[in-house]
Amino acid sequence: MSTSPAKSSMRDALVAAAFQLFLERGYEQTTVDDIVKTAGVGRRSFFRYFPSKEDVVFPDHEQALAEMTAFLAASADTDDPLVRVCDATRLVMRMYAENPTFSVQRYRLTREVTGLRTYELSVVWRYEKTLGDYLRTRFADRRDGTLRANVVAAAVVAAHNHVLRAWLRSGGEGDPLAEVDRALAFVRDTWNPDGPGAEPPADREDEDVVVVITRRNTPMWRVVREVESSLGNG
């Protein structure tokens, strides 16, 4: 009998072999047989870890989805639901940020292979659904609670993906966790402007007084634009 590698190391070896081959000869030109031969394991070992060749490209999403689901299930009624879904979304970014080289390689692969792009869309949809399920429960007693839950979940996912795509396109430069905090704060403040994420006041210059004079029929968006430009953050 040969020695059997530990479960996780065999899984890692399969992922490493798959990516080596995908980069060398292309995704379409690589078969599962090629992958198991390179990894030095049997064909059945591959399918024990991955239902299909596509799944080996995204080996961590199932775990991230499970973590997100558990994190949301552990939420207390006193938790701000917006804060909770933003924190849950950070778990996904952390997964990408833990291994920038792998994340960027996969991103480039996904750009080239249509089947992987659609697979990725289905993963994104599962994250959005997980966040939406949680928010629907939390907003159950609100008028338009379901609509609000679906819209907020989509907005959170869009903010996350906005940062993720920019980071992957840049080749993994910078700190995507800091960036995603900023982007998620934009979403949180949209619906919950005075929540725990609101900016604390900073320095003496902040004490300046701004006066806005407006006619009563001025649309609010015009007032906001005027105030923003006076405050220098328009």
Span interacting with a copy of itself, options 12-20, 71-79, 91-99, 111-119, rule CB under 8 A: 111-119
The verdict on 213 binding a copy of itself (CB under 8 A) reads yes
In the structure encoding, which two tokens stand for residue 179, read together?
A: 């960036």
Tell whether residue 125 is a contact of a copy of itself (CB under 8 A): yes
142 binds a copy of itself (CB under 8 A): yes
Figure out which of the listed residues 101, 122, 137, 229 binds a copy of itself, where binding follows CB under 8 A.
Answer: 122
Residue 186 makes contact with a copy of itself by CB under 8 A: yes
202 near a copy of itself, rule: CB under 8 A: yes
d(CA 7, CA 9): 6
From the CB of 144, what's the least distance to a copy of itself, in Å? 6
Nearest to 89 by CA among 134, 141, 57: 134
CA dist 137 and 130 (Å) reads: 11
- Segment lying near a copy of itself (by CB under 8 A), choices 70-78, 83-91, 93-101, 190-198: 190-198
Tokens matching residue 228:
């923003």
CB of 143 to a copy of itself, least distance (A): 7
Q: How far apart are CA 19 and CA 106, in angstroms?
A: 8
Min dist. Cβ of residue 105 to a copy of itself (A):
22
Task: Count residues binding a copy of itself (CB under 8 A).
Answer: 61
Residue with structure tokens 């006619």?
A: 215
CA distance 210 to 155: 32
Q: Are 184 and 156 in contact (CB under 8 A)?
A: yes
3-state secondary structure of 103: helix
Rounded Cα distance between 17 and 15, Å, is 6
Cβ proximity to a copy of itself, 7 vs 117, nearer residue: 117
| Structure-token pair, residue 175 | 């700190």
Of 6, 76, 178, 208, the one binding a copy of itself (CB under 8 A) is: 208
Is 89 a residue that touches a copy of itself (CB under 8 A)? no
Distances (CA, A) of 91 to 44, 65, 83, 85: 31, 9, 13, 10
Closest separation between CB of residue 95 and a copy of itself, Å? 21
Q: Report, in Å, the least distance between residue 124 CB and a copy of itself.
A: 8
Q: What is the DSSP letter of 206?
A: G
Please report, as ranges, the residues that interact with a copy of itself according to CB under 8 A: 117-119, 121-122, 125, 142-144, 146-148, 150-151, 153-155, 157-159, 161-162, 183, 186-187, 189-196, 198-199, 201-202, 205-217, 219-224, 227-228, 231, 233-234
